[in-house]
Chain A
């Protein structure tokens, strides 16, 4: 029997996101993280490192495909952070960056599509954006639907006919007729009677 493919359930995705928090090493006042690029992701590592540049000097070393060492040297000044606080902040940034990049990656096509639609709309090359498809929208009508529509059309035609007849009955001298209607009526009488 063929092995079943394991479905990626939300719980599995959560587990994938929630990797073991990397442990810092404190060395000569610096904070050092050795990060597995496959686990953490290159963009989250770089993003988190960038966000630390207000409170630390950041040095990156290693191979982008395997392991990156991030060394944080605290900056002096009123916003100086003790190494342990620096380490916690970096760990938090890294975790959040993984989430932000996950959201970004899974939505890039949607954002690109909408931006493309916006450009077309703004340039006048998109007169009307396609309407979103309705759930189970059918292109073809069922027999029942056709019958219903035919019935409605017939009722409306009767109504119009009745309305015109009533109008003729209430206005036998055609006083209410418009100029155009009178002209049309005159042409018809001439045509009927012959020259």
Chain B
């Protein structure tokens, strides 16, 4: 069956009265309608059929629901719909990239089964970013136009190039102070090389911390072994707990609580509940149930660690169901990150800043990745493709190119064109179009084209599956109540962050206590 819902000849439809919308039969019994402006409506089969077969008159109970969402052609509130469009696409409006991922080294002390980074041995110091390149990288970042800058350290294992991490943090904060721009600094590391001294520096300089935690020890250590063997999960959990205790004990540090991400491999699939239980036991307020992408090294070993999209969607739903069960019963308030991203778009009509689900995608316009040698890529995945020998997504170099040259690069334009959903023959007709995105690097790696071919795209199948899960849950009043409470908490978290600046460096130069 096609993944776009059919409306066949046997059902007469008169299209003349219909406004612009897309539709989907998410499951038997009801249809989902959405439009460009992010509005959605769930109609039972009878109401949907009535809508499709003839105009709805103003006395009909369906009329006000259709009118409120911009689904009545003769009752469109242009001003309100334009405002909705502006709000949901807030990233569009001339801002430039906000997320800058700096790979300070390719060296790593772990050999994760799926590592995108294609890391090298810890002895390979020739793959460390040097200070001059670091300075030029920060200078380039500050030449980009967005008033808010987020620098995210990645690797390899960034802590293996600690001096450059410190330098970039200090230099960027000085430049932010001088230019009165908002700066957020984040470190993504495996925690196995963390020390008290490093932690002191990071907390003192408001650096947000995030690590990988794939699940219980036997799962995490299978996915993410140390080079030469050894148990990594215990170290990760140990440092998570240590940092949590430290943040709990210091005034004003509650927003510095570290985050964690999990990556789903084939080995994870039987353990949805156990993974969630671990995050709950550690007091984490969120878990991100992330799929594995067949990019870079993971592509080579996909037959050993990968899985089908239906398997992932099933795993995702099991995990989400369990998380909802915990919330409804009051045993935990843990939230699921992808659900938060999708619900922010669906329920609040806002952009959550998630680069992969934007139209056009975040490549260059939302984010840039800087390799240890100063080369600039459309994204970290694009950098990974280069590491495999294909420079397709290289768009510049901090030593020799300006921001305008990077944004004007043919690869940038190709990525933007290919990931604008209105240009995609299937996406423009999909009910999830207002909330979705197409990732050009993923499609290049899996289908040999930045455009991809959506009918057979694993990206499309996976995201469609997750959207189906979310919209099915939204029909359940108890699940919906949990989702709305998450929206409220997530909003409060961001508002508090703006006041106390967790991981932020205040533009005025004042460093919060």
| Residue B402, interface by CB 8 Å | no
Closest to A19 in B: B9
Interface 1/0 per residue, A13-36 and B, CB below 8 Å: 110011001000000000000000
Q: Check A50 against B15 for contact (C-beta < 8 Å).
A: no
Query: How far is it, in angstroms, between the C-alpha of A47 and the C-alpha of B454 when the chains are bound?
Result: 12
Known: A50-B455, A53-B453, A114-B82. A99 touches B2 (CB 8 A): no
Given A13-B14, A14-B12, A132-B79: A89 and B2 interface contact (C-beta under 8 Å)? yes
Interface SS of chain B: helix, strand, loop or mixed?
A: loop
List of A residues within 8 angstroms of B8 by Cβ? 91-92, 95-96
A9–B20 alpha-carbon span in the complex (Å): 21
- Per-residue CB proximity of B1-20 to A under 8 Å, as 1/0? 11011111100111110111
CA distance A176 to B103 in the complex (A): 71
Contact between chains at B455 and A110 (CB < 8 Å): no
Task: Please tell me if the beta carbons of B16 and A13 are within 8 angstroms of each other in the complex.
Answer: yes
B2 contacts A92, CB within 8 Å?
yes
Asked if B40 is at the interface (CB within 8 A of a chain A CB), the reply is no
Q: B20 contacts which chain A residues (CB < 8 A)?
A: 103-104, 107, 110-111
Complex alpha-carbon distance, A47 and B429, angstroms? 10
Chain A contacts for B283, CB-based, 8 A: none
Contact status B93-A106, CB under 8 Å: no
> A100 interface residue, CB < 8 Å from B?
yes
Query: B448 on the interface (CB 8 Å rule)?
Result: no
Q: In the complex, A102→B94 CA distance in Å?
A: 33
Q: Nearest residue in A to B453 (C-beta to C-beta)?
A: A53
Could you tell me the distance in whole angstroms from the C-beta of B66 to the nearest C-beta in chain A? 14
Q: Which residue of B lies closest to A21 (CB)?
A: B9
**A132: which B residues are within 8 A, CB to CB?**
77-79
Q: Shortest CB–CB separation between residue A113 and chain B, in angstroms?
A: 7
CB distance from A174 to the nearest CB of B (A): 47
Q: Which stretch in A60-68, A115-123, A139-147, A154-162 binds the other chain?
A: A115-123
A122, B18: Cβ atoms under 8 Å?
no
Closest partner residue, chain B, to A46 (CB atom): B425
Give the complex CA separation of A14 and B17 in angstroms.
12
* Contact status B77-A18, CB under 8 Å: no
- Decide if B73 is an interface residue (CB 8 Å cutoff): yes
Answer whether residue B21 sits at the interface, using C-beta atoms and an 8 A cutoff.
yes
Of the candidates A18, A21, A93, A113, the one whose C-beta lies within 8 Å of that of B12 is A18
The answer, among B4, B13, B16, B19, for a CB contact under 8 Å with A51, is: B4
**Which chain A residues lie closer than 8 Å to B18 at the CB level?**
103, 106-107
Q: Which residues of A contact B89 (CB under 8 A)?
A: 118
A81-102 vs B, CB cutoff 8 Å, 1 = contact: the mask equals 0000000010111011001101
Beta-carbon contact of B456 and A53 below 8 Å:
yes
Does B43 interact with chain A (Cβ within 8 Å)? Answer: no
A151 to B19, CA, bound (A): 45
Query: Is there contact, CB below 8 Å, between A102 and B36?
Result: no
Asked if A123 and B94 sit within 8 Å, CB to CB, the answer is: yes
Given contacts A10-B54, A118-B86, A129-B78, contact A51 B7 (CB under 8 A): no
User: In the complex, are the beta carbons of B6 and A93 less than 8 A apart?
Assistant: yes
B142 CB-CB contact with A under 8 Å: no
Q: A100-B429, A121-B83 are in contact. Are A17 and B14 (CB under 8 A)?
A: yes
Q: Which of A95, A99, A118, A129 has the most CB of B within 10 A?
A: A118
When distances are taken between beta carbons in the complex, the residues of chain B under 8 Å from A95 are 6-9
**A106–B14 alpha-carbon span in the complex (Å):** 12
Report yes or no: A111 in contact with B36, Cβ–Cβ below 8 A: yes
Question: What chain A residues lie within 8 Å of B22 (beta carbons)?
Answer: 100
Q: Which residues of A contact B94 (CB under 8 A)?
A: 122-123
A and B contact pairs by CB, cutoff 8 A, 5 listed: A10-B16, A17-B14, A53-B455, A110-B76, A131-B79
Besides A92-B6, A96-B7, 6 other CB < 8 A contacts?
A92-B2, A103-B18, A107-B20, A117-B78, A121-B83, A131-B79
**Nearest 4 interchain pairs by C-beta:** A107-B20, A54-B455, A117-B82, A129-B79
Query: Footprint of B on A, CB under 8 Å?
Result: 10, 13-14, 17-18, 21, 46-47, 50-54, 89, 91-93, 95-96, 99-100, 102-104, 106-107, 110-111, 113-115, 117-118, 121-123, 129-132
